[in-house]
């Protein structure tokens, strides 16, 4: 079950390390909440939309797809 945004923990989100992002775009179309978009030549995850794919996949799909180690990490 996906919790409403006001009931989710602020830490329940992923983020993209801009220094490691190659801007391949593999993650954007796979995000079930549309939280990933281009930003300043790389990609970014909108933490207010990210659910870590809870209710859609067993694990964050972006993390599963990204070939760059350490690029996608839990938001702080």
Q: What is the pLDDT of residues 45-74, one digit of tens each?
A: 999 999 999 999 999 999 999 999 999 999
What is the pTM assigned to this prediction? 0.82
Residue 5 has pLDDT above 60, yes or no: no
Phi-psi label, residue 37: left if phi above 0, alpha if psi -120 to 50, beta otherwise: beta
CATH number of 5-65: 3.30.70.20
Q: Which two tokens stand for residue 8?
A: 């989710």
């Amino acid at each position: 079950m996906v919790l409403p945004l006001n009931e989710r923990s602020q830490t329940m989100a992923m983020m993209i390390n801009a220094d490691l992002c190659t801007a391949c775009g593999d993650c954007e179309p796979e995000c079930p909440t549309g939280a990933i978009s281009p930003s300043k030549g790389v990609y970014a995850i909108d933490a207010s939309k990210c659910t870590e794919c809870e209710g859609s996949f067993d694990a964050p799909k972006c993390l599963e797809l990204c070939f760059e180690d350490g690029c996608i990490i839990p938001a702080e």
